[in-house]
Amino acid sequence: MKRLIQTFLILVSLVGCSSQFNEGMDALKQKDYKVAFDKWKPLAEQGHDDAQYKIGKLYREGLGVELDYVEAYKWYYIVAKKEYGGGNRYMKKIRRDINSAQVSRAEKMAWQWMKEHE
């Protein structure tokens, strides 16, 4: 019975994450970037790969948030370490626009985040 309850709770949380992510995608399609950010940021903080990638994009393009290459690099670094999506590709692009101290800071932020959340 205990295992059944645990399985049920996991499924409920997965459905909630999926719904929240999809709401962010709908907001993105409507160009309501702040809402997309607000939907995805909590998921990104919980380790949701797609949300982490999308948060990196919003920071990289300054959509719904102030443009921040260091923060974008951090999120791309996190997904790249999980071998997810185009994290490495966008890290290379961002490196053209920031200096080595900023790269180092972004990587330290990413490692700190991974240490705390994974």
- The domain at 2-117 falls in which architecture? Alpha Horseshoe (1.25)
pLDDT surpasses 60 at 7: no
Q: What is the pLDDT of residue 101?
A: 98
Chain segment 45-77, per-residue pLDDT in tens: 999 999 999 999 999 999 999 999 999 999 999
Q: What is the pLDDT of residue 39?
A: 97
Q: What is the pLDDT of residue 18?
A: 81
- Name the residue ranges covered by the structural domains of the chain: 2-117
CA-based Rg of the chain, rounded to a whole angstrom?
15
Handedness of CA 105, 50, 91, 58 (dihedral sign): negative
